[in-house]
Structure 1
Amino acid sequence: MKLSEFFRLWVENYYQNIALIGKKGDFFTAVSVGNLFGTLLAKHFLTLIDKKILTPPLQVIEIGANEGYLSRDFLSALMEFRPEIFKDLEFFIIEPYEKLRALQRKTLQDCELIHKNSLQDCEFSNAYIFCNELFDSFSCELINGKTMAFVDDDFKLYFAPSDEKIQKECEELGLKIGELSQELNLFFKQLDKACKSFVLSGFDYGVLKPDKLSLRIYQKHEVFDPFKLDLKKFFGKSDLTYNVNFTHLLKLIKDYNFKLLAFEKQSQALSKFDFEEVLNHTKNKNIQSYENFLSQAKRLFFGFDDKFHFFEFQKI
């Protein structure tokens, strides 16, 4: 079995059984830090509207929402800063797993939420899409020269020659060793078909020039090498992930003639999302919330390494 097929089965089992994120889960994300992350994203969204990069009415969509905390924080901030905007918004979450849908409905019980199973089920005319650590959950191949990874019946990883199509794509990307996600190719195809126009804002960790295999497992905040484990004991019970190949992402943006609006370190981007204005607004209303935001900011700006990036692109 190709590693990508094994990866897909692993992720499906993991998320169908509800993957917990944060202190009680296997890993942290920026959302786990607190509501400042979603608040800053909401302020950035309003800036896109004020600059007329986005023009309401809009469909607002989160992909990969897990429990729905980012959407909750995003919508709460919109209510705080510009409640009148809601008359021009429809809110969607793309979520294939019913257990996670139930959690999202509970988290967002005061929101008129529309669930969709996949991008293939969608027809958006004017969309704003956001996602956090989505692409690192896409299935991938492990590439090492002209070989790729497979998984045998005993759940052991091994390498064998890759096919010509894979080799050609690797040559186009200049990829000699690392991960290649053909699911990312499919996502862009579906995204282009599903949306007449959109802006997508995303956060993920990765590198521009992969120079090693980064596939790894997170379980209760410990990192494990999948080549040194009995994978049967971890299968579908822990997070399987890797560094996103940002060269691949940027190439797809160019190939589809989408407009790249931003690509920078996550901490740099967040500091530009009206952070000082958010702090001043909060300080004037509630000093405890202000101090909480300051504490969260330290973790958001300094607690995530340089692999974490913000990217944003547009279809007009």
Structure 2
Amino acid sequence: MKFSEYMGEWLYGKNGYYATYKNIGKEGDFYTAVSASKFFGGTIAKHIISLVDEGFLEPDGIVCEIGAHHGYFLADVCEFLYTLRPELLASLNFVIVERFDALQEQQRNYFQESFGDVIKLTHYKSLSELKCQSAFFIANEIFDAFPCELFFKGDTARVDGHKINFDVKNEWVSEKAAKYHKEKGEIAVGYEEFAKEMANAAEKFEFMSFDYGEMQARPDFSLRIYAKHEVFPFFEDNLDRDALFGTSDITYDVTFEHVKDAYQEAGVEFIECVPQMVSLVDMGILELLEILQKNADEKIYKQELEKVKMLIMPNLMGERFKMIRFRKNN
């Protein structure tokens, strides 16, 4: 089978890694910015308020998270909206795009426990089901979870059992590899369709996504497996892929130029791609900390400050993770 099919089964098959709820953070297989600090979602809430104030996002527009897992990220956004601009919590419409029924139920339960009936949460299985006038789309670590093909010096991989063989000629993969100057590495599958679905979902929107990778393609394979905070290079000798299949996360570095091209081909304007630390500081994460310092106990402030450092310090998440942003304005 194609490697993209193999990876799709690994992550999204009936018994795939993301088909059921998994812990993320200290008790899970890996950390994300969401599990590091609530101020990640808080900064997005502050940005949403700025979009409403500038007239780009309608006060009754949609705030939509794609691939929300537990629902913590969107819930953190809602919590900070309540603190910073409570009337928006009543006027905005909150949406999660989630393909799995079990995760939808998990998210509904979490929102019910957190907010009762104050927030009405709407689910869609895909962006193709959504049609609206005004929206803000947000995603965290989504593009690294798209299935990919593996390319090596002109050949594309196929999978036999769990063994990887580079012996297939694939014109589309070869064209992408040439375009992004890859002699070997991962070629993501699905960015173009995803961008078109989003472009068709809303008349006017901003989309912001955080992920790890670089604008230009890295010159080697980055495919790796995360299990209990251990990292296993996919091509490591004696790696037991059979045992890890579906029970661990498999991911790779994003080539943001590919994401950019997919959205521009769909008629969506590219705004920027910057390190996570730059984006969070620009959107006001330090101002939120100042508010906390003025209104909370010093011990609580220092605890939250240490968590925020995880997000913005260059040697932690601040530099390696990037924020990419797009706008469609009809």
Identify the TM-score tier after normalising by the shorter chain: over 0.9
Q: How many Å separate the matches in 2 of 1:44 and 1:293? A: 20
Q: How many Å separate the matches in 2 of 1:100 and 1:289? A: 32
| 2:276 counterpart of 1:266 | yes
Q: What is the deviation of 1:145? A: 2.2
Q: What is the deviation of 1:173? A: 2.9
* Residue aligning to 1:84: 87
User: TM-score by structure 1 length?
Assistant: 0.95
Paired residue total: 315
2:21 to 18, 22, 27: 18
* Residue aligning to 1:4: 4
* Residue aligning to 1:116: 124
* Residue aligning to 1:141: 149
Q: How many Å separate the matches in 1 of 2:179 and 2:79? A: 43
Structure 2 counterparts to residues 166-177 of structure 1, below 5 A: 166-177=173-184
Q: How many Å separate the matches in 2 of 1:178 and 1:50? A: 43
Q: How many Å separate the matches in 1 of 2:182 and 2:130? A: 33
Q: How many Å separate the matches in 2 of 1:142 and 1:306? A: 26
* Residue aligning to 2:46: 43
Q: Deviating runs (4+, > 4 A) in structure 1?
A: none
User: TM-score by structure 2 length?
Assistant: 0.91
Q: How many Å separate the matches in 1 of 2:280 and 2:271? A: 15
Q: What is the deviation of 1:305? A: 5.7
Q: How many Å separate the matches in 1 of 2:197 and 2:278? A: 30
Amino acid at match of 1:34: S
Q: What is the deviation of 1:193? A: 1.9
Q: How many Å separate the matches in 2 of 1:7 and 1:268? A: 32
Q: Secondary structure at the match of 1:248?
A: helix
Q: What is the deviation of 1:268? A: 1.2
Q: What is the deviation of 1:292? A: 2.5
Q: What is the deviation of 1:65? A: 0.5
The 1:98/1:201 distance shift into structure 2, 3 A limit, reads same
Structure 2 counterparts to residues 1-316 of structure 1, below 5 A: 1-12=1-12, 13-109=16-112, 110=115, 111-153=119-161, 155-207=162-214, 208-227=216-235, 228=237, 229-287=239-297, 288-302=299-313, 303-304=316-317, 306-316=319-329
The 8 Å contact of residues 177 and 210 in structure 1, kept in 2 or not, is answered as no
Q: What is the deviation of 1:301? A: 1.2
The 8 Å contact of residues 14 and 237 in structure 1, kept in 2 or not, is answered as yes
Q: How many Å separate the matches in 2 of 1:19 and 1:186? A: 27
User: What percentage of residue pairs aligned between the two structures are identical?
Assistant: 34
Q: How many Å separate the matches in 2 of 1:307 and 1:239? A: 19
The 8 Å contact of residues 45 and 78 in structure 2, kept in 1 or not, is answered as yes
Higher mean C-alpha deviation, range 33-42 or range 48-57: 48-57
Q: How many Å separate the matches in 1 of 2:203 and 2:96? A: 18
Q: Secondary structure at the match of 2:18?
A: helix
Q: How large is the Cα RMSD of the aligned pairs?
A: 1.5
Q: What is the deviation of 1:72? A: 1.0
